[in-house]
Amino acid sequence: MKEVSQKYKTPVLFIDKKKLRDNYRALREAFPDFRICYAIKSNSDPGIIEILRQEGSHFETASLGEILFLRSLGIPGEHIIYSNPVKSAESIARAIEENITEIAFDSLEELEKFLPYREKAKLIFRIAVPNEGSLWPLSGKFGAPEYLWDDIFEYMKNEGLHLYGVTFHPGSQAELLTAWDAAMRVAWRCIDEARDYYGLNPTCLNIGGGFPVYLGREIPSVHQIAEVVYDHLRYWKDHEGYEVQELICEPGRFLSGSAGYLVCKVVGVARREKNWVFLDSGVFSGLMETIDGITYPFETTSTGNKERVIFCGPSCDSVDKMFEVDLPHPKTGDKICFSGAGAYTTVYASHFNGFEPPQIVYLEEVKSPHELLELVG
Amino acid sequence: MKEVSQKYKTPVLFIDKKKLRDNYRALREAFPDFRICYAIKSNSDPGIIEILRQEGSHFETASLGEILFLRSLGIPGEHIIYSNPVKSAESIARAIEENITEIAFDSLEELEKFLPYREKAKLIFRIAVPNEGSLWPLSGKFGAPEYLWDDIFEYMKNEGLHLYGVTFHPGSQAELLTAWDAAMRVAWRCIDEARDYYGLNPTCLNIGGGFPVYLGREIPSVHQIAEVVYDHLRYWKDHEGYEVQELICEPGRFLSGSAGYLVCKVVGVARREKNWVFLDSGVFSGLMETIDGITYPFETTSTGNKERVIFCGPSCDSVDKMFEVDLPHPKTGDKICFSGAGAYTTVYASHFNGFEPPQIVYLEEVKSPHELLELVG
């Protein structure tokens, strides 16, 4: 990498454009028959959206805010799906106006909002599946459990609503391959019941997101996940005579996560019962997922004997503490580069306590996290 | 209240200007000898700062961002204290340039940064005190424990640094009166040691914040807290011959909390094992403190038989769930008004998942939370 005269002020989120493209291509290769809809909630920076658009990605949204943002970037409504199972009637009306018709639901109450759109709405039923092995299990808040399916199907049949598809989510950062196996089994029971008992004919399957990124623990590859999913799809075709017409997935973290490196600086060290290392990025300025137990792999300019330290953020808030690590003797001014930080970091950042979110800087390619430590001053 | 033709779009944080003034005046009355420095991290909206400025308030900051923001509003540096015990050398330099000289520290490492400012810096030593009864105990991240005081005082004496004052913080939303009693005892030991053994002469005491607001549980009043604090101050004077010259307190939540009402709407209801009530404000758009166990008192337009429900936010994030309540049969479009929501709500809000933070609307006076339900559409 060339000498840079102007160094970036920390905190910075560096995005490796090549890695972002490579992630997309790896997923495309693993799931050749799937429409990839990038979950922009993981990182909605326009630069990321533009690169993925160029690669052919479509987009997954959860709010009217996200929809209008994508439309303002010139993304056509036909390339957007609306996967939040619960939303206001106004949001639904506006989405359909924007030609966004593939919309999720998971309750009777929500279905009522679609009665004015019997013709246009392609309803995708979000079902509950086991979320074992996910760092952020989603069960409970979203997804209809099996005992409620009858009521839903009955209502749809009576009201003439079109059951276009079925969807599930194995949970964010799902680290066990069995999650997809379990989810596909539940999905089949749902499709089967809808067809056999209610004459509904879902032709779409959306397998959600949850594809994990490396955060220091062993994880399944997208190829391994695809093998599990395709095994089921083949079985459905060969043994049940049912072929899914439209396959969708909604990766977020998998695309943006490993493409991002958050580089920050040590603003101070306080040695007490614990050694507190204060960084200029914390829970409220990018590293919020640490309060749920995420720990990012990191490189550092610190040198010396290792000490047990606790990373914390720069704010005066007691919640703004992160995780413990062994760090070579830390001192003010040392730099830290966290890997796997492209997703669910800047999007959670507020301006709390006067600390700004990290700036986002795009690089053609990052050969090693270490070189990024040289780019900040 | 008059009929309003234009209704506000939810979510809205209504600020009761009279209540904000009343809170300031109650504190002023309870602590007549104290300089009140409003902790702007609790709510830094310019309207709140302006009202408190008119009342005579000074301001407490934790970052250069907050300092420059206050300066941009015309607040003189002399009316600002800088209480974050850990900050960058650049921030300290700039603060002193802005005539902000009362600055906190709590470690040897931090003290080194003040060597260039021996003349100007009025150093305030943040000591660790018990945080029992606080919803957000601060011990650990901030505050020097007693066994480290000698090193600090020795260093200050040798380097000719001026120990201007001592400060502590009983923890945010401190709900036990004993917290102040315990803290004042520790503060005295610190002042006594600095004077007797090191000839340092602290003349300022900053008792921090932590004054609680009503959130459904019994809390001490600021008058009761003042009684405890003044008892100690009198004892120090009468029995130890030590009179504090400069008294400071740093209320945040106490001033802004009960002046704010967050009004939101039900966007959907999903009845499953639990009944999920989806609001248009959630963890990422104002109600973040709920994940740490805060529950706000509320009024609602819902009617019917009570059901046990769980409030959750509008995002697709599993973390975005709040607390359980008994609510009259909820349905889409119902309105909810949370009280005590003026502090640590909008300041934590991000734009995650395309949901905007609540807009802030100022009212001369709120007679009852119920009337606010009529102001939103």
Residues 6+ apart with CB under 8 A from B234: none
Same domain membership, residue A239 and residue A155: yes
Closest in B316, B319, B332 to A84, CB measured: B316
Same domain membership, residue A241 and residue A312: no
Mutation target vs B (from A352, A359, A376; most B CBs, 10 A cutoff): A352
Quick check: A67 contacting B, CB < 8 Å?
A: yes
Q: Write down the residue that tokens 């083949």 correspond to.
A: A234
Residues A311, B287, A129, A20: is their CA dihedral positive or negative?
negative
The model's confidence at residue B70, banded by pLDDT at 50, 70 and 90, is very high
Q: Report yes or no on A332 lying in a domain.
A: yes
Q: Which helix (H) or strand (E) holds B268?
A: strand B260-271
Same domain membership, residue A247 and residue A274: no
- pLDDT value at position A136? 64
Same domain membership, residue A345 and residue A239: no
Q: Report yes or no on A2 lying in a domain.
A: no
The model's confidence at residue B1, banded by pLDDT at 50, 70 and 90, is very low
Number of structural domains, chain A? 2
Q: Report yes or no on B39 lying in a domain.
A: no
A199 dihedral zone (left: phi>0; alpha: psi -120 to 50; beta)? left
Domain boundary among A191, A226, A251: A251
Same domain membership, residue A270 and residue A121: no
Q: Report yes or no on B15 lying in a domain.
A: no
B11: preceding bond cis by omega (within 30 degrees): yes
Q: Are the CB atoms for A173 and A156 separated by under 8 Å?
A: no
Domain boundary among B218, B234, B251: B251
Same domain membership, residue B145 and residue B57: yes
The model's confidence at residue B215, banded by pLDDT at 50, 70 and 90, is confident
Q: Are B109 and A270 an interchain contact pair (Cβ–Cβ within 8 Å)?
A: yes
Average pLDDT over residues B82-100: 98
Tell me: the pLDDT tens digits for B151-167? 999 999 999 999 999 99
Q: Are A316 and B171 an interchain contact pair (Cβ–Cβ within 8 Å)?
A: no
Tell me: the pLDDT tens digits for B246-304? 999 999 999 999 999 999 999 999 999 899 999 999 999 999 999 988 999 999 999 99
Same domain membership, residue A193 and residue A339: no
Q: Which residues of A are the active-site residues?
A: 316
The pTM of this model reads: 0.94
Closest in A88, A271, A348 to B267, CB measured: A88
The model's confidence at residue B132, banded by pLDDT at 50, 70 and 90, is confident
Residue A353, token pair as written in the block: 């306590």
Same domain membership, residue B357 and residue B242: no
Quick check: B371 contacting A, CB < 8 Å?
A: no
Q: Report yes or no on A30 lying in a domain.
A: no
* CATH number (domain holding residue B133): 3.20.20.10
How many angstroms away from the CA of A125 is the closest CA of chain B? Answer: 13
How many angstroms away from the CA of B314 is the closest CA of chain A? Answer: 7
Q: Are the CB atoms for B36 and B57 separated by under 8 Å?
A: yes
Quick check: B72 contacting A, CB < 8 Å?
A: no
Closest in B108, B271, B347 to A350, CB measured: B347
B145, with CB counted inside 10 A (0-12, 13-18, 19+), is: middle
Average pLDDT over residues B78-89: 98
- Cα Rg, chain A, nearest whole Å: 22
Same domain membership, residue A196 and residue A63: yes
Q: What is d(CA A190, CA A213) in angstroms, rounded to the nearest whole number?
A: 29
* CATH number (domain holding residue B339): 2.40.37.10
Same domain membership, residue B303 and residue B228: no
Residues A181, A183, A188, A193: is their CA dihedral positive or negative?
positive
Q: Chain B, 33-62: which have a CB under 8 Å from a chain A CB?
A: 41, 44, 61-62
Quick check: B83 contacting A, CB < 8 Å?
A: yes
Same domain membership, residue B104 and residue B160: yes
Quick check: A250 contacting B, CB < 8 Å?
A: no
Quick check: B84 contacting A, CB < 8 Å?
A: yes
Q: Report yes or no on A22 lying in a domain.
A: no
Domain boundary among B189, B217, B251: B251
Quick check: B64 contacting A, CB < 8 Å?
A: yes
**Cα dist from A263 to A2, A8, A29, A282, A300, whole Å:** 18, 10, 31, 12, 9
Mean pLDDT by 10 residues, chain A (377 residues): 71 98 98 98 98 98 98 98 97 98 97 96 96 70 96 97 96 87 97 97 96 87 97 98 98 97 97 95 96 92 95 94 96 96 97 97 96 95
Range of the domain at A52: 44-251
Q: Are the CB atoms for A166 and A123 separated by under 8 Å?
A: no
**Which residue of chain A is at minimal alpha-carbon distance from B321?**
A141
Closest in B140, B265, B355 to A65, CB measured: B355
> Looking at this predicted complex, what is its ipTM?
0.94
Q: Is the pLDDT of residue B125 over 80?
A: yes
Q: Report yes or no on B2 lying in a domain.
A: no
Tell me: the pLDDT tens digits for B3-61? 456 799 999 999 999 999 999 999 999 999 999 999 999 999 999 999 999 999 999 99
- Cα Rg, chain B, nearest whole Å: 22
Q: Report yes or no on A33 lying in a domain.
A: no
Same domain membership, residue A219 and residue A72: yes
Of the candidates A234, A273, A246, A65, the residue with the CA atom closest to the CA atom of residue B142: A273
